[in-house]
Amino acid sequence: MSDQVQTRFKPSLILMGAATGLVYGLVLRLWAGTGMWSRYGGAMTWAFLFGVPFAMGFITIYVIERREKQPFLMWVMWPWIPIAAGAFGAFLALVEGLICIVMFLPVGMICASLGGVAAGVVVVSVRDSKNLIAGVVLLFPLMFAPWEQRVLSSKEIHTTENTIDIAAPAAVVWSNIERVPAIQPSELTDSWSHRIGFPDPVEATLSYEGVGGVRHATFTGGVLFVETVDVWEPMQRLGFLIKAQTDQIPNTTLDEHVRIGGPFFDVLHGEYRLESLNNGVVRLHLSSQQRLSTDFNWYARMWSDATMADLQGRILKVIKVRSERESRAQQLPAD
């Protein structure tokens, strides 16, 4: 019995299976960046995001299970090794940014586990045609990708809104949103979006007050938004069309899959709205309109909404602290 347990967890066998899955995944990731696959969406497809991890998990367990029987739990867990190793390698090689890695890992590990379980079932239950089934699984992402976009690709406009209550007059709040002087790092709260690589807000300038005025909203990492005011209602609403200077964003800041203004994601419009409450409190609303253009907008929307909500929440907190501090200063008696 002890010999059987030892063979089940033979490191060389586990490494062989994981290495096979890893090589398969890396080859397809490199291929996804070539013209042959990139015209179909490259890595931003169901074929890659779901199909490739499934196939990586399948081939990992297929190689292991054909040589040594594994417990069901190992069908689930061993596929995580090539997924994690591939993601880490892509990050080190600057093929993918940290944001993409974080977005990929949850779904990648789940799909890899499903592939591992499928491989275990095939090896245990199928008497003939095991290799044929394995071949179909490995080729499936390549067969699915060419027609996927024609069926699944869609464009979606989505709005994210945050609110915050500020104990300051509307005029004070307004002065802190029409222009945003340079934000010091100490003014920004910690956030998960910053930790995974999303740039921090720096400042927003305004060419002149009124419709047609141009704001330059800058972020760390060389990110610049040119915002043209299209709604100007002092102390009530400030809206602006947003144009990201996409060509100026370095790959080291936002890679091609999450680049604002790129083929998959863009921010189109922003708006501040002031709502006067009782006791001199202003409820400040900040909303942004984003465009998603992927084959899996339902998943991309989860991440874009969470990221934009986190970013907007940080900006609103800066405005709240500044406005309330300014309001208190105005109420102090003159010496």
Q: How many CB atoms are closer than 10 A to CB 142?
A: 16
With beta carbons less than 8 A apart as the criterion, state whether 205 and 215 touch: yes
**Predicted local confidence at residue 8, as pLDDT:** 53
For each successive 10 residues of the chain (335 residues), what is the average pLDDT?
A: 49 89 87 65 76 94 90 93 90 75 90 96 87 90 75 83 96 96 93 85 95 94 92 96 80 64 86 93 96 84 90 96 92 65
Same domain (yes/no): 80, 171 = no
Tell me the DSSP string of 132-145: HHHHHHHHHHHHHH
**Predicted local confidence at residue 76, as pLDDT:** 95
Same domain (yes/no): 287, 324 = yes
**Predicted local confidence at residue 278, as pLDDT:** 84
Same domain (yes/no): 168, 145 = no
Same domain (yes/no): 147, 178 = no
**Predicted local confidence at residue 4, as pLDDT:** 45
Same domain (yes/no): 142, 245 = no
Domain boundary residue among 152, 170, 196?
152
- Number of folded domains in the chain? 2
Same domain (yes/no): 181, 57 = no
Q: What is the CATH number of the domain that holds 262?
A: 3.30.530.20
Domain enclosing residue 273, as ranges? 154-331
**Predicted local confidence at residue 277, as pLDDT:** 93
Same domain (yes/no): 252, 213 = yes
Q: Count Cα atoms within 13 angstroms, Cβ side, for 318.
A: 26
Same domain (yes/no): 169, 312 = yes
Same domain (yes/no): 162, 139 = no
Same domain (yes/no): 127, 148 = yes
CA distance 231 to 311: 22
The residues that bridge with 241 in the sheet, in sequence order, are 228, 269
Q: Please state the separation of Cα 16 from the chain's center in Å.
A: 32
Domain boundary residue among 152, 170, 200?
152
**Predicted local confidence at residue 196, as pLDDT:** 81
Same domain (yes/no): 181, 208 = yes
> For residue 216, which amino acid is it?
H
Residue 32: both structure tokens together: 């996804």
Same domain (yes/no): 101, 50 = yes
**Predicted local confidence at residue 7, as pLDDT:** 46
**Predicted local confidence at residue 176, as pLDDT:** 96
| Residue whose token pair is 């709604």 | 231
Domain boundary residue among 132, 152, 172?
152
CA distance 106 to 74: 18
**Predicted local confidence at residue 298, as pLDDT:** 84
